[in-house]
Structure 1
Amino acid sequence: MLATLDKSSGSQRSGLSFSSSVETFLDPAVAVAMLFACAGADGERLGAPYIILALIVFSLTFPGNIFLNDSFRRMLRKTVVNWLIVAIILLFFGEASGYINFFPRNVIYGWLAATPVALIATNALARWAIPNLLSIEGYTRTAVIAGCNDIGTRLAESFASNRFIGVHFVGYFDDRKRDRLERIGEAPLLGSLNQLADYVKSHHVDHIYLALPMATQPRILKVLDNLKDTTASIFFVPDIFVTDLIQGRVDQVGGMPVVAVCETPFTGASGLLKRLSDIILSILILILISPLMLITAIGVKLSSRGPVIFKQRRYGLDGKEIVVYKFRSMTTCDDGQVVKQATRGDSRITPFGAFIRKTSIDELPQFVNVLQGRMSIVGPRPHAVAHNETYRKIIKGYMVRHKVKPGITGWAQVNGYRGETETVDKMEKRIEYDLEYLRNWSLGMDLWIVIKTALLMVKDSRAY
């Protein structure tokens, strides 16, 4: 819910809807405007080909997924990656269909090069301008919170930390005395819940957030009944959101509202997009690396006795067992009830095996797993079944990572948690990154992980 407050477009009708509208339309509008500007600068007439291209570009970039509260570095990365994806799609289909021949090449290439610069500039400008616009009278909305508890104080902290929400928080209402409230901080306690309606009417409060426990339903209904005589917008912040939501959202089942607490990001169109990208990329990559895989297979066979391909049981989607392929890099093929992780200087690793592990060449057969549908190119790395059975008992939320297919590379690996996890603390950090990936997945994020993985292949000191 706290994430929804600064990313969804329907939570508020003033400051938030204004900033959300900017987030939604800024990138598509800039991309289309730059197309027309580049065409105009070259003396082109904006005929049907440009209009069609503008509609395609708008569709590919709408809605924008760069949020005003993102750090500048995150905004920069998302802008470049998002536009790179759009450019690849447009050039591929433009060349394949011949549609690109309707435009001068200098206009298209100039537009593709200039647009990310314009996007970065306009996003930076929006970060400076919008807080000033929200400070103008009529944009900022006054808000109170009913319920001074953990979820209520977190909500208040979100108001204070986000300059783009456009909410002026004035205080809490709670039936408890101030000395019984643990986290109220400097915010005033304005009165009891029975005094809320009178205060709202007399002080022209715009928004009321009900952060009351769902167990107190009669009290909530009484508060709502008292507020019927006000014009304030009322938002319910159920205490279910104190948990760590994975793809949390409100949905409907047969017309009945339900709240997703833990769900995979790959449902519907997102799941189809993820699978198509996996199939296309894995086929292209397997074609490109087939000579390297042949050479590696010969090297494994000549370096030590044993099979070329090491097959190991891992947990896949929904915790079901799958078989994962790797080039064998050790003299043993452990896959029993106890599997010892590889360590630095491990005597089981062959000299050739050390090289292919260092460069991640040993993972290349897993692109076949991707084609089989057992794995994805990007996702949480699969652990041995024996390791899963150990860590699921001691790390909270460990099995949630299996809401998606395991990946050849993942968010944890490109953030320094690759290789041996010799302590529980390191495994916990790996799981934190895996769950962050599930919460924030996008195709752009997948591409960024692939790029970072390629850069790390030749210089990662954690690989052995």
Structure 2
Amino acid sequence: MGIYRNMFVKHHDSLAIAVRLADVSTIWLAGFLATELRFSPDFAVAAPIHQFIIYFSCVVALIVLPRFDLYTSWRGRSFLSLVARLVAAWSLVWLIGILMSFLMHQAGSLSRLWAAYWYAGTVVALLALRIVTYSLLSLARGVGRNAKHVLIVGFGITGQEMYRRATASRWSGFRVAGIYAGPEDATPESIPRIEDSDHIAGFARKHHVDEIWITLPIGASRQMQSIAYTLRNDFIDIKWMPSLMEFELLNHRMQDFMGMPAVELNRPPSLGVRGLVKGAFDRTFAAVVLTLLSPLLVAIALLIKRGSPGPAFFKQERLGLDGRVIHVYKFRSMKVHTEHETVTQARKGDSRVTPIGAFLRRTSLDELPQFINVLRGEMSVVGPRPHAMAHNDMYKEQLDLYMLRHRVKPGITGWAQINGYRGETDTLDKMAKRVEHDIFYIRNWSFGMDLKIIFWTTFRGWTGRNAY
């Protein structure tokens, strides 16, 4: 197997050049096919600017594509991230080509349909090329070829997780050659164990280790410096994976901050550009729902007014994004009453709940006015449910991660609700389970996850045995 590994290493630069040329050839071929599709059979009507833009963009691609880190090893990295970079890189090349036609005052001669064919065809072709290449490399690594031997230094939570990922994903091409661990850490019997850090360098040389993954705690900086120093003359890649999994926060993403590497520990994934997408979807969805359900909302309001004295709507103070106070709208489901220092959750058979209110609470129809909050940008369609202010003050002292729920906008429905944690939370354990699901949602948020929650809410998120 070492022969194959050395062969891939020896010809890595040649392979990278070959892939670059393949990308440029793909761009040219897609342009030719777009011309064939748009102008066939009379190619004479195709203005010369089309051919110029193709060749010009091929030259630009040789410069731009490498800037998107497309030709370095993607072993162990996300394929979806590679796809995103590839599409972004080609989009930039394409836009530069189109811009050139404007600068040459030839935009009027450029076929918009041809440009669309070329863009879409190139995206499909480049992705197909990457998928084939990625699949072939994964297949080779899966049978032991082109594998990298790694030594894991430290076997705490992070070290164990890296070992699990390396062994579970044979296609990534990593083989654990050894583990350095303290006397208190149990390691797999099938993997050689190193117990003295002075033996790490010798072991790495003897077993031809390609990479060393240091997963020691942050406090072991002196030991890490010593290990790196003893390997200063060896051609071994060293990766430091800070033991951040011990921090029970929202994120562990590395970023460049003022030219220095920084780790974000408490930033939700749903902020930034992705948050803008989520916000745009929320407001559009809320506008559609309020429009379509307006007759139902009017009917419910009339039934409430008829059933008991008082307003059809009422507002509750809740904590919104980053702890800002918002006023959440709901249909009134109880008789008008006053509560002072404590908030009493509705219980089964609660005399304060009106007959129509009981139905509204059981079916969550009392929460439909919260789409107004979503339209105002104060809430999301999907997110942790907002709790009473008194409950926030109480549970933040009893549950360590409770207040992290407020790093995102509260939602009308959420991961906890579709998993059965809806309604009354009369015990600390019930609230702990709800918070656990909320934190899981925040840490693992994606637009697809939101759509999944909305879909399942239709079937099991609007009713529940704990909703009174």
TM (norm. structure 2) is: 0.71
The aligned residue for residue 185 of structure 2 is 182
Query: CA 1:283–1:149 in structure 2 vs 1: closer, same or farther (change >3 Å)?
Result: closer
| Structure 2 residue 146 is matched with structure 1 residue 139 | yes
Distance in 2 of aligned mates of 1:305 and 1:58: 66
The aligned residue for residue 13 of structure 2 is none
Deviation at 1:163, TM superposition (A): 4.2
Residue from 306, 318, 324 that aligns with 1:320: 324
Consecutive unaligned residues in structure 2, runs of 5 or more: 1-68, 88-110
| Structure 2 residue 397 is matched with structure 1 residue 403 | no
Matches within 5 A, 1:154-173: 154-173=161-180
Distance in 2 of aligned mates of 1:401 and 1:193: 41
Residue 313 of structure 1 aligns to a residue whose secondary structure is strand
Distance in 1 of aligned mates of 2:297 and 2:212: 62
Counterpart amino acid of residue 275 in structure 1: G
Distance in 2 of aligned mates of 1:363 and 1:54: 48
Q: Is the 8 A contact 1:247 1:261 kept in 2?
A: yes
Residue 412 of structure 1 aligns to a residue whose secondary structure is helix
The aligned residue for residue 341 of structure 2 is 337
Query: CA 1:190–1:219 in structure 2 vs 1: closer, same or farther (change >3 Å)?
Result: closer
Counterpart amino acid of residue 157 in structure 1: R
Residue 216 of structure 1 aligns to a residue whose secondary structure is helix
The aligned residue for residue 79 of structure 2 is 21
Q: Deviations over 1:177-218 (max 9, x none)?
A: xxx323334243135222212221221112211122222222
Q: Is the 8 A contact 1:313 1:335 kept in 2?
A: no
Q: Is the 8 A contact 1:15 1:141 kept in 2?
A: no
Consecutive unaligned residues in structure 1, runs of 5 or more: 1-8, 30-46, 65-122
Distance in 1 of aligned mates of 2:394 and 2:329: 22
The aligned residue for residue 384 of structure 1 is 388
Residue from 246, 251, 258 that aligns with 2:255: 251
Distance in 2 of aligned mates of 1:266 and 1:213: 28
| Structure 2 residue 318 is matched with structure 1 residue 310 | no
Q: Is the 8 A contact 1:312 1:335 kept in 2?
A: no
Counterpart amino acid of residue 181 in structure 1: E
Distance in 1 of aligned mates of 2:144 and 2:405: 46
Residue 160 of structure 1 aligns to a residue whose secondary structure is helix
CA-based RMSD: 3.4
Distance in 1 of aligned mates of 2:279 and 2:271: 11
Distance in 1 of aligned mates of 2:386 and 2:207: 56
The aligned residue for residue 261 of structure 1 is 265
Q: Is the 8 A contact 2:318 2:389 kept in 1?
A: yes
Q: Is the 8 A contact 1:324 1:366 kept in 2?
A: yes
The aligned residue for residue 359 of structure 1 is 363
Q: Deviations over 1:6-41 (max 9, x none)?
A: xxx99x946425xx3378549x99xxxxxxxxxxxx
Counterpart amino acid of residue 304 in structure 2: V
Residue 168 of structure 1 aligns to a residue whose secondary structure is strand
Of structures 1 and 2, the larger Rg is shown by 2
Matches within 5 A, 1:48-447: 49=113, 52=116, 55=119, 132-174=139-181, 176=182, 180-186=183-189, 187-333=191-337, 336-447=340-451
- Which stretch shifts more, 386-395 or 246-255? 246-255
Query: CA 1:387–1:191 in structure 2 vs 1: closer, same or farther (change >3 Å)?
Result: closer
Residue 329 of structure 2 aligns to a residue whose secondary structure is strand
Distance in 2 of aligned mates of 1:430 and 1:444: 21
Distance in 1 of aligned mates of 2:386 and 2:122: 37
Deviation at 1:435, TM superposition (A): 0.8
Q: Percent identity?
A: 37
The aligned residue for residue 98 of structure 1 is none
TM (norm. structure 1) is: 0.72
Deviation at 1:260, TM superposition (A): 0.5
Count of residue pairs brought into register by the alignment: 373
Deviation at 1:57, TM superposition (A): 10
Query: CA 1:326–1:233 in structure 2 vs 1: closer, same or farther (change >3 Å)?
Result: same
Deviation at 1:48, TM superposition (A): 6.9
Q: Is the 8 A contact 1:358 1:457 kept in 2?
A: no
Distance in 1 of aligned mates of 2:330 and 2:122: 42
Query: CA 1:288–1:400 in structure 2 vs 1: closer, same or farther (change >3 Å)?
Result: same
Counterpart amino acid of residue 76 in structure 2: L
Distance in 1 of aligned mates of 2:357 and 2:463: 17
Q: Is the 8 A contact 2:417 2:461 kept in 1?
A: no
